[in-house]
A and B are shown apart, each in its own frame.
Chain A
Amino acid sequence: MPVQVPDLTPAVPQIYVLIMTCVTLLVSLFASKKHSAWTYILSQLTLLGAIVLTLLYFHHKSQVTFHGNMIVDHVSMLLTIFICAITFFVLLYSRDYIKQHKMPNTEYHVLVLFSTLGMMILVSSYSFVSIYVGLELFTLPLYALIALRRDSAVYSEAAMKYFVMGAIASGMLLYGLSMIYGATGSVQIAEVVKVISALPSSQHLIILFGLVFVIAGVAFKLGAVPFHMWVPDVYDGSPNTVTLMIATGPKIAAFGLVIRLLAETMPDVQLAWSHALMLIAVLSIGLGNIVAIVQSNIKRMLAYSSIAQMGYMLLGVIAGTANGYAAAMFYVLIYSLMSLAAFGLVAMLSRDGIDIQHIEDLRGLNERNPWLAFMMLIVMFSMAGIPPLAGFMAKIGVLEAVIAVGHVWLAAVALLFAIVGAYYYIRVVKVMYFDDPLQSTRIDLPTGDMRVALTVNGLSVLALGIFPGILMSLCQAAF
């Protein structure tokens, strides 16, 4: 019996990225030093091409291919577009940093591309096997990226921590998945759903057992309490642009993981996982916001803030309704945009001996470069959830979703900690605008395209706050 050839058209973006990544690798391997710009250009073309190819396919309805291992629906396409677009900005932001810090150009770009490919596969995978392949493909390059400068003890330490913790988490996830496979006899999500809903509830025990491990693995990827310990250390210990990479795209991919593994695979035990996520969300929001307050290092502060933000995002998932998932998706997309701008600014300003490490280093930024300070202000206010910025709309969405299913206390707790959280975001603004600068020299981004990109990035946060309608309705249409 010959194996049936699957329909490859839905997977064209992924195939394209794979081919282009190999091409990029070979070209930059054989090109002379003078032509190293080609690596950058090819990488960006890869990402833009992936966006265009996905957009071309966007009018299609949900489609399953590769023998039930891959699904291309609006969730995956929307996430793919954002992942590629955000990675595009990441590469743009990091171009100068790589040069300044003498990081290997070829490896940096190729690893970023492979990781992106992993995320793309992850968000459109429809079986446990492809989920795991995607997951590993997107995390392994990240470990390598952190330790790309082998001579630095700090980076090596961060990479080691991330790797060991990541391995434990993947192990847990894999264990959970094999447990569910054992109970249901299938790795394909479409099959698993059917089997679970047919199971009598007395036999749910083994599913629950697997579920707990799956949740642990997923929570690790999101960086949610109590699986968050790696987040501050890795964010802090990585090169700034790698932090930028880790803090943006992977959050979107992890959201995809949540949707595929929890929302789509186990709607029948929704009560169980939403209870677990509730605890995780509350702990994340609480711990993230509270501990962020005492951080003086800006990357650590943003790391704790990301823990809290992921907690907010989970609120939408907890609701378990289509509206809730849409709100969570909106949240994670907005968060990755904000995080992109915040870490991007930190990464791009760290040059020529100036290193932005501590919040204090931003003192008087308004006098040294008012426009950058304004962009940072937009992002900080948005993260704090101040209207009319995108972060506010995102928070409204998830809170509305949990209230709609009756968890008013959850919304109240979330709001309470949002107030606590506003403190450390606004402190950054205060430092930028009201403290005297240590040096009065003007500070600026390296090149014009970075200035434009950061402006686009910052203003998009504003624009999506004032006009959330389009993105919001796209998110709602996806579920």
Chain B
Amino acid sequence: MDNLIHNITLVIVFAPLVGALSTGLFCRKISKGLTFAITIGLMTLAFGLSVYLAKLVIFDGYTSNEIVYTWVKSGTFQFNVGFLVDKLTVLMLLTVNFVSLMVHVYSIGYMEGDKGIVRFFSYISGFTFAMLMLVTANNFFQLFFGWEGVGLVSYLLIGFWFNRPTANFGSLKAFVVNRVGDFGFILAIAAILNYFGTIDYAQVFALAPQMAANNVTMSIIGGTHSSVISVIGILLLIGAMGKSAQVPLHVWLPESMEGPTPISALIHAATMVTAGIFMICRMSPIIEYSQVTLSLILVIGATGALFTGLVGIVQHDIKRVVAYSTLSQLGYMMAALGASAYAAGMFHLMTHAAFKALLFLAAGSVIIAMHHEQDMRNMGGLRKYMPITYITFLIGALSLAAIPPFAGFFSKDAIIEAVKTATIAGSDYAYICVLIGSFVTATYIFRAFFLTFHGKERMSDKLKQQLHETKFVVTGPLMALAIPAIFLGMLIIKPILYPNGFSLLGKSIFVLPQHNVLASMGEEFHGVLAMVNHSVQTLPFWFAVSGIFVTWLCYNRFPELPAKIVKRFGIFYNILVMKYGFDDFNQIVIVRGGHRVAQWLYQVTDSEFIDDTFVNGSGRVVNAVSIAMRQLQSGYLYHYAFAMIVGLVAFLVWLIF
């Protein structure tokens, strides 16, 4: 059975790679139809097999942890390619492959007519491969490979329209900010290799309790002692912060919306950004032993959940609203992890993947219909023209705003409850953040909803005549995604959060008993219906409903109200429009300051000192030596023979005396 799982995983992971390579290498020769057939065929295969794998692993309870190939062996260190297939992996496989398949299909319609469509398909298949490598890894090395792989493809995809300056800027920003996170991550791997002597998950996790019990410390700055586990945990967190766009490394995500919309849906909502969440879950056997790290995760997550949501309220670009919503939801997931409710984080990750992909694709559908107009101030009243998009967007919005019984309700409610129950440092602050966050969430998403689909039709007359519902390849995935956006939550809440016998995560996640908030919450869980009924008496529900009501007032009933509010609270509005000044700070301090330092380094140290003295200097010396030495090669046979004899005699003298 191990062998079967192993082989299936191999096919699942490498099918997208085959698709990416075959279409990417022949992108000038291959036809569009063939590209669709190859990539979508292989993705379907991968998805189908992951469903079968899910049956094997989740229902039949098999797991597998095997090495496929030893890449390099250096001393006692081994760098392997191997697959760890357990329940966590399988959940990620399902999510990634499902969303990826949907995006492949949707892109046929969205990217129609684009000259680089073959390249585009090659990229997204390549992305899927990297992501699958990441989630199936059984060691840190492969994890890092997938981690960097998704980063690279994300860079390529954000800058897909490389003749737009904003896209280039966005891709560069995403890349650079991710480097910061990756730096932390690679330091974490180095620390693990150094202190654990291995980078294999199973061995590292087995050693972690001992490491924590012995309270092994390291000295980072002379004289100080920091717990190794905490240092590793925090470094891992920094890595996760980069990829999962947590404050303050979140600045790249809004810019990434410059890429094509399917990419925003695939990478920057449903899959890549969840890599950090997944990674922390996977690392739970390490993280659990560090209180500091848990608190830090909780505070950072909760902060992000509230404050990035607030920025979403003042955005005009429909995709940016959804992007800020992603930031905020990622904050929720992080907060769940901080509260040791890893399962709740994973749960929200899955429901979020469904409803956020839905929202993005619906937004994309609007954008197609509006002929690539993204500013909501030029929309309005679209519900008449695009009923399917309207309804699916509404479903997504309700799910996001955590209105029962939509999927988002179950997961978000669990997170808020978990944070409330948690007792570690910072949990009170976090609870307030996530609670207010639920009001904010409802506000920004319904603002976008009312501005787009209700109210006055603000677009030009010419455009208005061309408005119609988009094609089936676009609406099809919308409808397909709407189903999990409604039902996913109620279906899996029990097995994933409060398993009693049948469990979706099983032993793949480790929680210390004293942190186990889900266990105490499970005692009060009496089934889906009871939870829905009960929700009417809880704070988060009323926060969300009041959010919807307020936006209805502002944007549907009294459309002149927002302008007045802005006038009254100008300072707050400006702070939000400036996004708390993160971008300006980066631009002024880091970019411009860095530029100045670099300029100085370049002119003084590099070009004068290093280049002239060392590089060119040593070059000149080597060249001179070289010219002198080539004279030895005279071309005369007797010189050569003489050299040999001299050499021989020299060796004789040296070795014998």
Direct contact of A and B (CB under 8 A): yes
Residues of A within 8 A of B (CB): 160-161, 164-165, 168-169, 172, 205, 208-209, 211-213, 215-216, 220, 225-227, 229-230, 232-233, 272, 275-276, 279, 287, 290-291, 293-295, 393, 396, 400, 420, 423, 467-469, 472
Q: Are B72 and A468 in contact (CB under 8 A)?
A: yes
Known: A160-B637, A233-B633. A226 touches B656 (CB 8 A): no
**Chain A residue with the shortest CB-CB distance to B645:** A168
The CA of A225 and the CA of B75, in the complex, are separated in Å by 31
Known: A213-B648, A468-B72, A469-B71. A290 touches B655 (CB 8 A): no
- With both chains docked as a complex, state the minimum distance between the C-beta of B487 and any C-beta of chain A, in angstroms: 44
Residue from A164, A208, A212, A215 with most neighbouring chain B CB atoms (10 Å):
A212
Q: Are A209 and B656 in contact (CB under 8 A)?
A: yes
Q: Are B625 and A208 in contact (CB under 8 A)?
A: no
On chain A, the residues within 8 Å of B75 by CB distance are 400
Fill in one digit per residue for B618-657: 1 if any A CB lies within 8 Å of its CB, else 0.
0100110111011011010101110110111011101110
- With both chains docked as a complex, state the minimum distance between the C-beta of A398 and any C-beta of chain B, in angstroms: 13
On chain B, the residues within 8 Å of A396 by CB distance are 74
Q: Are B639 and A287 in contact (CB under 8 A)?
A: no
Q: Is B514 part of the binding interface, using a Cβ–Cβ cutoff of 8 Å?
A: no
- With both chains docked as a complex, state the minimum distance between the C-beta of A158 and any C-beta of chain B, in angstroms: 11
**Chain B residue with the shortest CB-CB distance to A160:** B637
On chain B, the residues within 8 Å of A161 by CB distance are 637, 640
On chain B, the residues within 8 Å of A230 by CB distance are 640
The 9 A-B residue pairs with the shortest CB-CB distance, nearest first, are A226-B647, A229-B640, A294-B626, A293-B626, A290-B626, A216-B648, A212-B651, A212-B652, A291-B629
Q: Are A290 and B71 in contact (CB under 8 A)?
A: no
**Chain B residue with the shortest CB-CB distance to A231:** B633
Q: Are A168 and B644 in contact (CB under 8 A)?
A: yes
Instruction: List 11 additional contacts besides A226-B650, A227-B647; criterion CB under 8 Å.
Output: A161-B640, A168-B641, A209-B656, A212-B655, A225-B647, A226-B644, A233-B635, A276-B654, A279-B654, A295-B630, A400-B74
Q: Is the interface of B mostly helix, strand, loop or mixed?
A: helix
**Chain B residue with the shortest CB-CB distance to A219:** B647
The CA of A463 and the CA of B623, in the complex, are separated in Å by 34
Of A164, A226, A293, the residue contacting B643 (CB under 8 A) is A226
Q: Is B70 part of the binding interface, using a Cβ–Cβ cutoff of 8 Å?
A: yes
Q: Are B655 and A208 in contact (CB under 8 A)?
A: yes
Q: Are B640 and A165 in contact (CB under 8 A)?
A: yes
**Chain A residue with the shortest CB-CB distance to B638:** A164
Fill in one digit per residue for B467-492: 1 if any A CB lies within 8 Å of its CB, else 0.
00000000000000000000000000
Q: Are B633 and A229 in contact (CB under 8 A)?
A: yes
The CA of A164 and the CA of B75, in the complex, are separated in Å by 45
Fill in one digit per residue for B64-76: 1 if any A CB lies within 8 Å of its CB, else 0.
0000011111110
Q: Are B655 and A293 in contact (CB under 8 A)?
A: no
- With both chains docked as a complex, state the minimum distance between the C-beta of B272 and any C-beta of chain A, in angstroms: 24
On chain A, the residues within 8 Å of B643 by CB distance are 226-227, 229
Q: Are B622 and A290 in contact (CB under 8 A)?
A: yes
The CA of A164 and the CA of B72, in the complex, are separated in Å by 45
On chain B, the residues within 8 Å of A164 by CB distance are 637, 641
On chain B, the residues within 8 Å of A215 by CB distance are 651
Q: Is the interface of A mostly helix, strand, loop or mixed?
A: helix
Residue from A275, A290, A393 with most neighbouring chain B CB atoms (10 Å):
A290
Which residues of chain B from 67 to 92 have a CB within 8 Å of any chain A CB?
69-75
On chain A, the residues within 8 Å of B626 by CB distance are 290-291, 293-294
Residue from A165, A220, A400 with most neighbouring chain B CB atoms (10 Å):
A165
The CA of A275 and the CA of B655, in the complex, are separated in Å by 8
The CA of A24 and the CA of B216, in the complex, are separated in Å by 72
Of B629, B640, B656, the residue contacting A205 (CB under 8 A) is B656
- With both chains docked as a complex, state the minimum distance between the C-beta of A402 and any C-beta of chain B, in angstroms: 14
Q: Are B647 and A216 in contact (CB under 8 A)?
A: yes
The CA of A396 and the CA of B73, in the complex, are separated in Å by 11
Residue from A229, A290, A400 with most neighbouring chain B CB atoms (10 Å):
A229
The CA of A287 and the CA of B639, in the complex, are separated in Å by 17
Q: Are A467 and B69 in contact (CB under 8 A)?
A: yes
Q: Are A469 and B641 in contact (CB under 8 A)?
A: no
Q: Are A276 and B622 in contact (CB under 8 A)?
A: no
Q: Are A294 and B630 in contact (CB under 8 A)?
A: yes
On chain A, the residues within 8 Å of B633 by CB distance are 229, 232-233, 291
**Chain A residue with the shortest CB-CB distance to B625:** A290
Of A233, A393, A420, A468, the residue contacting B622 (CB under 8 A) is A420
**Chain A residue with the shortest CB-CB distance to B618:** A420
On chain A, the residues within 8 Å of B646 by CB distance are 226
Q: Are A169 and B652 in contact (CB under 8 A)?
A: no
Known: A168-B641, A233-B633, A290-B622. A469 touches B74 (CB 8 A): no
Of A165, A212, A469, the residue contacting B648 (CB under 8 A) is A212
The CA of A165 and the CA of B638, in the complex, are separated in Å by 9
Q: Are A291 and B630 in contact (CB under 8 A)?
A: yes
